[in-house]
Structure 1
Amino acid sequence: MSAPQNQHQALILFAHGARDPRWAEPLARLQQLIAASVSSSVHIHQAFLELMSPTLPELVAQLAAQHCQAITVVPIFLGQGGHVRRDLPQLMTQLEAQYPQIQFNLATAIGENERVLMAIAEVCVANLFKSL
């Protein structure tokens, strides 16, 4: 369910995190691409499971303090591994209980989307022909 336009909305790109900060550079580019294609009333953020900050609970606490009313979390994972199947739903259950005033929407892992898979396939095929 989408939130009305007058509500403070946030889109969180949720990723694993890594020790090397350069790992998050593609996520920052994705954040910029999304920000350029949605209303300025939608705030785009990054959050991480571990090794980087902010974590999802830290970011949601900040957004709640800013009176955010609707948050969509998009897992930037290729598949439904343990983090997406187990860890993230547990985090979301805790956040929903802690912030009942916020409407949460949890998307499926980005790699489960057919359009994403098609884009990856196109890049793979394009690279195949580069090597011939």
Structure 2
Amino acid sequence: MTQQKALVLFGHGARDERWKEPFLKLQELIAQDSNVRVELSFLELMSPSLPEVVDQLAIEGFKTIEVIPVFFGQGGHIRKDFPAILDACRNKHPEIQLSAKPAVGEDLGVLQAIAKYCAN
């Protein structure tokens, strides 16, 4: 393994498989511009789940994992469900430095990019 860090993009999930196409593109763009492993995970309706991805990365020997919730805002899933899932992963894999960023929609740069898109 040459990569030391993994990023996990965490999305809600949907019944329609096409819903994740932007997530796949985001995964590809990040992987092109960085030296980190990038995986997708979902809260519900799609797989893999966040615990499944963390388990696999642990098996592969990753010791640093950062989870990025690809959610627009801080709704109930991010305030309640996500912390519980993250804590369960931390308890199962105490050897891994498991961190999380705020939801992408909370970032000013993301909001500015969306505003620019909308205005143009």
TM range (shorter): over 0.9
Number of equivalenced pairs: 119
Q: Which of residues 82, 104, 108 in structure 2 aligns to 1:110? A: 104
User: CA–CA distance in 2 between the matches of 1:58 and 1:71?
Assistant: 13
| Match in the other structure for 1:21 | 17
Greater C-alpha radius of gyration: 1
The within-5 A match list for 1:1-132 is 8-39=4-35, 42-126=36-120
**Structure 1: tracts of 5 or more residues without a match:** 1-5, 127-132
The TM-score with structure 1 as length reference comes to: 0.88
Question: How far has the Cα of 1:68 moved from its partner?
Answer: 1.0
Amino acid at match of 2:7: L
What SS does the corresponding residue of 1:10 show, helix, strand or coil?
strand
Amino acid at match of 1:68: F
Q: Cα RMSD over matched residues?
A: 1.0
- TM (normalized to structure 2)? 0.96
**Identity %, equivalent residues:** 49
Alpha-carbon distance in 2 for matches of 1:8, 1:97: 21
2:10 maps to a residue whose letter is F
Shift of 1:7: 6.4
Unaligned runs of 5+ in 2: none
Query: Post-superposition, which runs of at least 4 consecutive aligned residues in structure 1 deviate over 4 A?
Result: none
* Matching residue's letter, 1:60: V
